[in-house]
Structure 1
Amino acid sequence: MSKDPHFDREQQKYQNPIPSREFILDLLRSQSAPMNREQIGISLALTDEEQWEGLRRRLRAMERDGQLIFTRAKSYALPERMDMIIGTVLGHKDGFGFLRPEEDGQDLFISNRCMAKYFHGDKVMAQPIGHDKRGRQEVRLVRLLEPRKAAIVGRYHTQGSIAFITPQDKRIPQDIIIEKGAANGANPGDICVVEIRERPTHFMAAKGEVVEVLGQQNAPGMEIDIALRNFDLPHQWNTRIDRQLRKLGDEVSETDKGNRQDLRHLPFVTIDGSDARDFDDAVYAEKKRSGWRLWVAIADVSHYVKKGSALDEEAIARGNSVYFPSQVIPMLPEKLSNGLCSLKPKVDRLAMVCEMTITAQGKLSGFKFYPAVIHSHARLIYEQVAQALTEGSTNQDLQAVLPHLHVLQDLYLALVTAREERGAIAFETEETQFIFNDERKIEAIVPRSRNQAHKIIEECMIVANVAAARFVKRHKAETLYRVHQPPSETKLSSFREFVNERGLNLGGGEEPTPADYSELLERIKGRDDAELIQIMLLRSMSQAIYSADNDGHFGLALEQYAHFTSPIRRYPDLQLHRTIRYLVNREAAQKAGKALTENWTRDGGYLYQIEELDELGLQCSTTERRADDATREVSDWLKCEYMQAHIGDEFEAVIASVTSFGFFARLKGLFIDGLVHVSSLANDYYRFDSGRQMLVGESQARSYRIGDTVSVKIAAVNLDDKQIDMVLTDNAKAKASKGRTSNTGNKTGSIRAQLRKGNFGKSSSSTKKRRSSTGKGSYKSASKPAKPSKSKSSKSKSSKRRK
């Protein structure tokens, strides 16, 4: 026992400690074969019955968590020695699935039969079993380690004496039986939240109980209610947080204003969107002989949200605020996000200030951080500022600060020059905005333009984020960086092929720099396909993440970059504020001849260790992706709902992507994508050329490629599946009669199909024959309806800055 390196930890937890999990794993790694429980106990020199019972429980727990496998020979083996892989199930609407390994690696194929017992989101242990007919590595699911955390939301149906739920998330194709007495007041057609009571088998469907009735599908805001549960987004505050909030006043207390620099005399302003309620940042700049002095004041959230508090735990779980088109799910309660922490005009607020000096060439030459109290002089809106900078303004508040805004404008122009010199990639993609009526239904979808005021604030925030990253690095401390890796070799190769097809080339050889991408963007200005090329460039980029490893930001061409400017709505920013507060306090203590002996301070400072940041970086990256997926799903829903009134209407569109089974066309001005299925094209055999991203007809030489302009007619809209089907207007007359709108899907649920066929009780996946297109060979056009496909509509986001 004394050899166990974790013995002290185990002794604190148990009166009669047993060997740690790590020690047991090390023992098994040292053996050439699996060991049974008796062999393990003897090797660990266990002495009494209590320790033997503790070992039994620990081994079972390690088996449950996927650390060990219990073999048929009743021995314990290491998963890696048996080619076992632990990962998350990714379901597909056609019944098969993929396994995403916990360790880095390619997704692995799961057959329909294997998926029948599992749900999208389950954590499982799997074993490779070779390759399928398409050459994909296939796995067999061996054991469920952890059921999916997200609730299952679906529509309640009855047929005869049978009641069941059809999940809204089409990655869960299995229907769920609701037994008698478990409907809890649900009526046919209601959208419900179901809790699984019995998991599915190869012979029986899953059984569940309705735990919440959300209402009818067309109810206002239903799309958000569904997304919150589908993606397991925390959206309710617990009683512990309520108790903590009751201790806070409505305004900043005089006590809290102490021991801070008083900057209330400086004319700070906030510049945000018209619909913003949480004001993270305020800015002010002065012109100096050799450049500028810039103050960026950021809401001091760390003063109110202490590490380890109930508020902090909830903020970590949420990770970030989620901005739906008509609603915000905040990371912090409104008393903080819209109240005490929000830098509202004409009131005192606590802030962490980054004071910087910028050279005439737009280079960051110096910076310092300190806690302060500020008094915002005006709450300004982007459009208002942009107009005032060019035309002046009669608004009294704006007139008073207009000279300072002109200083900010001059500073911005210098920062842009420096940005161009270092080669940062400047995207100018257009976003959309939903306009809702009084019934919370979409009245219009309009472009959301970016003006110079947006860019002024964006550049001020970027330079403050750079200063924060450099400050931490200078003090040899750790933090979460915003990391953006260069494009992968595969994505780079695909993008090169795409631009070459359009008569362009990307410089830089095998390792292009951000400057090479910027040079390409400069060359395409004025081209009809400029927007499409930008979209394809964005798709070729890696996804930015949060990491304790400072690997730089490729897109911004920066060696170090960290998020500091939005602690109200992003947890990594709050983490960085705590780190900066601690370092500021430590620096002050050292000057006073004192030392900080703890890694925290009472005013909100905390020095994170690298192990904490590794875990936190993964969590924050995951919650960010979750928010993106949820908002994308809601946007797709709303766009489908909007297009239901346009079935049969004709639009001009651009081919946005091409697949073996057709192409997605993006409606001009609406940024809504729909599928033109290959079966709806002129009668021919069509071959998919993946290199040139185009469909080519074999006999008539018709071709369809990315960027082509086409005229389309809306043929069908399926709200359940968030699918829009289109046909080319040349073929519209032949297809018009097949157009339809549906709120219940274009295929029957598996239980309904079994009831009609008399197969009730059999595996749902085995009784459903679903069609899926492959990328092999050519596809014969036919007169059958177009295959629905998920609408790949572009995001409609708030104007929050998300570099």
Structure 2
Amino acid sequence: LRAGDDRAAMACHLKIDGEGKVKDWRFTRAIVRIHEVVAYEEAQARIDDGKAEPNLQNLWACWKALAHARKKRDPLELELPERRVKLDEQGRISEIAIRERLDAHRVVEDFMIAANVAAAKALEAKVAPVVYRVHETPSREKLVALKDYLATFGKSLALGQVITPGLFNRMLKDIGDEAEKALIMEAVLRSQTQAYYGPRNEGHFGLALGSYAHFTSPIRRYADLLVHRALVDAYNLEQPKPQGDIPATSGLSDRDRDDLGKVSDAISQAERRAMEAERETIDRYVAAWLSARVGEVFETRITGVQKFGFFATIVGLGGDGLVPVSTLGDERFHYDEKAHVLSGEDTGTTYSIGQFLRLRLAEANPLTGALKFELEQGGGRVEPRGRPVPLKKRGNHMVGQRGRPSNIRHQGRKKR
């Protein structure tokens, strides 16, 4: 979006009362002219400094009503840091930091949620096809695992009660110790199911909403585009047939209607691939940035524990790295699967999720995004993987040894 440019859009008009409840909505086509493009940080600064224009002040005032309704709804509140990679003009990494969470982000988020709910309910009112955004209640199997884990902290989770997001929020609110809170927050996150798209409404557990669809980002999410097309059909928002080799209508195609379940599954799978690609890309950037700092000691927090070692992330930076159990010293370590704890047989030293400790960066691989750490003092060292291959000059290039590796024997064809 650029200031002064006209853009075709689908507009959601909301009526919100003083308690933050959406009382009415309607959807129209619109031509939007952007008055000014304002970054989140700039908008927040104007509000904080009392220099905001009336339109921003009114937006914030309405948002406070929405935030009040959100608080009463009590959706799941997990403080999950988001990493941001900054590149310079040459495309080199200049900084990797945790993105600051501002009220400006919450303003946009809560208005988008309100529009998404309105879109789902508007289509339901017309008994029209809906691509829902579904987040189901945690499965009993995951809740049992969470219950067992909480028991190691002396906390209980009654499985006979109705499980709501507020139940988890109250549990986290009552924890004063930040390290313990981080531990239990990680466990609550692991207990959640993965959200997906589907034509059948199962509600959105995390947001504590009965009906939810994605409407606000049709440029980057195909699910939103399908919701727009369904709204075009349901509310007679079709435009005159365009000139040229363009489809005559902009509503749902017959194929989309007939195969909405298959289309939703394909979108969900593509979303998971995109999330994995984004996460792996960030990991590679972090590893590339840290590759020049191998040998330095960092303040870290343990994010996962397995029998072969534990994973830790650098505080304020991110990037999970493995500390192999073989580097923890000469003693034998036992793994408690329910408590997610490694315990030393002789010294009683324990490593558990959420624990803070200083670790030395031993390896950073930009190609895979993999990191390895070792203890700052004591313990063993991480063995470098593989031996450097000697290179020989051939023409204008340096080349390695050709042919079969020396440790692989040739299996010839046996005589009959």
Residue 685 of structure 1: aligned partner: 332
Residue 389 of structure 1: aligned partner: 47
**Correspondences of 1:44-193 after superposition (within 5 Å):** none
1:412 to 60, 63, 76: 63
Name the CA shift for 1:407/1:362 in 2 (closer, same or farther; >3 Å): same
Query: Is the 2:231–2:237 contact (alpha carbons within 8 Å) kept by the matching residues of 1?
Result: no
Query: Is the 1:359–1:365 contact (alpha carbons within 8 Å) kept by the matching residues of 2?
Result: yes
Q: Deviations over 1:699-738 (max 9, x none)?
A: 3222211122211111223344432221111226x528x5
Alignment partner of 1:611 is 2:245: no
| Corresponding residue SS for 1:756 | coil
Give the Å deviation of 1:512.
1.2
1:667 to 314, 322, 328: 314
Query: Is the 2:218–2:224 contact (alpha carbons within 8 Å) kept by the matching residues of 1?
Result: yes
1:623 to 267, 270, 293: 270
Query: Is the 1:696–1:702 contact (alpha carbons within 8 Å) kept by the matching residues of 2?
Result: yes
Query: Is the 1:578–1:606 contact (alpha carbons within 8 Å) kept by the matching residues of 2?
Result: yes
Aligned length: 394
| Corresponding residue SS for 2:166 | helix
Name the CA shift for 1:519/1:622 in 2 (closer, same or farther; >3 Å): same
Alignment partner of 1:756 is 2:406: yes
Name the CA shift for 1:357/1:758 in 2 (closer, same or farther; >3 Å): closer
Q: Deviations over 1:7-59 (max 9, x none)?
A: xxxxxxxxxxxxxxxxxxxxxxxxxxxxxxxxxxxxxxxxxxxxxxxxxxxxx
2:356 to 709, 724, 742: 709
Give the Å deviation of 1:353.
1.1
Q: Deviations over 1:405-432 (max 9, x none)?
A: 1222122122122122222112332111
Alignment partner of 1:376 is 2:10: no
Write the distance in 2 (CA, Å) between the matches of 1:520 and 1:389.
Answer: 33
Residue 381 of structure 2: aligned partner: 735
Write the distance in 1 (CA, Å) between the matches of 2:72 and 2:148.
Answer: 27
| Corresponding residue SS for 1:619 | helix
Write the distance in 1 (CA, Å) between the matches of 2:349 and 2:403.
Answer: 39
Name the CA shift for 1:604/1:610 in 2 (closer, same or farther; >3 Å): closer
Write the distance in 2 (CA, Å) between the matches of 1:636 and 1:741.
Answer: 22
Residue 342 of structure 2: aligned partner: 695
Identical amino acids, percent of aligned pairs: 33
Residue 298 of structure 2: aligned partner: 651
**Correspondences of 1:408-487 after superposition (within 5 Å):** 408-487=59-138
Give the Å deviation of 1:369.
0.9
Give the Å deviation of 1:754.
4.9
| Corresponding residue SS for 1:478 | coil
Residue 514 of structure 1: aligned partner: 165
Query: Is the 2:232–2:238 contact (alpha carbons within 8 Å) kept by the matching residues of 1?
Result: no
Name the CA shift for 1:536/1:433 in 2 (closer, same or farther; >3 Å): same
Q: Structure 1: give runs of 5+ residues left out of the alignment.
A: 1-341, 394-398, 589-600, 745-750, 763-803
Question: Which amino acid in structure 1 is aligned with residue 130 of structure 2?
Answer: T
Give the Å deviation of 1:458.
0.3
Bigger shift: residues 460-469 or 443-452 = 443-452
Q: Give the superposed CA RMSD.
A: 2.8
Residue 353 of structure 1: aligned partner: 11
Residue 527 of structure 1: aligned partner: 178
Write the distance in 2 (CA, Å) between the matches of 1:632 and 1:577.
Answer: 29
Query: Is the 1:716–1:741 contact (alpha carbons within 8 Å) kept by the matching residues of 2?
Result: no
Name the CA shift for 1:630/1:349 in 2 (closer, same or farther; >3 Å): same
Q: Structure 2: give runs of 5+ residues left out of the alignment.
A: 240-246, 390-400
Question: Which amino acid in structure 2 is aligned with residue 735 of structure 1?
Answer: R
Write the distance in 1 (CA, Å) between the matches of 2:373 and 2:257.
Answer: 51
Name the CA shift for 1:722/1:350 in 2 (closer, same or farther; >3 Å): closer
| Corresponding residue SS for 1:579 | helix
Write the distance in 1 (CA, Å) between the matches of 2:126 and 2:83.
Answer: 42
Residue 581 of structure 1: aligned partner: 232
Question: Which amino acid in structure 2 is aligned with residue 615 of structure 1?
Answer: K
Write the distance in 2 (CA, Å) between the matches of 1:678 and 1:404.
Answer: 57
Name the CA shift for 1:485/1:473 in 2 (closer, same or farther; >3 Å): same
Which structure has more relative contact order (CA 8 Å, sep 6+)? It is 2
CA radius of gyration, larger in? 1
Write the distance in 2 (CA, Å) between the matches of 1:631 and 1:679.
Answer: 31
Write the distance in 1 (CA, Å) between the matches of 2:387 and 2:135.
Answer: 41
Write the distance in 2 (CA, Å) between the matches of 1:568 and 1:525.
Answer: 43
Give the Å deviation of 1:757.
3.2
Give the Å deviation of 1:752.
8.1
Write the distance in 1 (CA, Å) between the matches of 2:403 and 2:356.
Answer: 40
Give the Å deviation of 1:455.
0.3
| Corresponding residue SS for 2:226 | helix
Query: Is the 2:183–2:354 contact (alpha carbons within 8 Å) kept by the matching residues of 1?
Result: yes
Query: Is the 2:134–2:195 contact (alpha carbons within 8 Å) kept by the matching residues of 1?
Result: yes
| Corresponding residue SS for 1:537 | helix
Name the CA shift for 1:758/1:518 in 2 (closer, same or farther; >3 Å): closer
Q: Deviations over 1:682-711 (max 9, x none)?
A: 221111100111011223222211122211
Question: Which amino acid in structure 1 is aligned with residue 75 of structure 2?
Answer: A
Give the Å deviation of 1:552.
0.7
TM-score (norm 1): 0.46
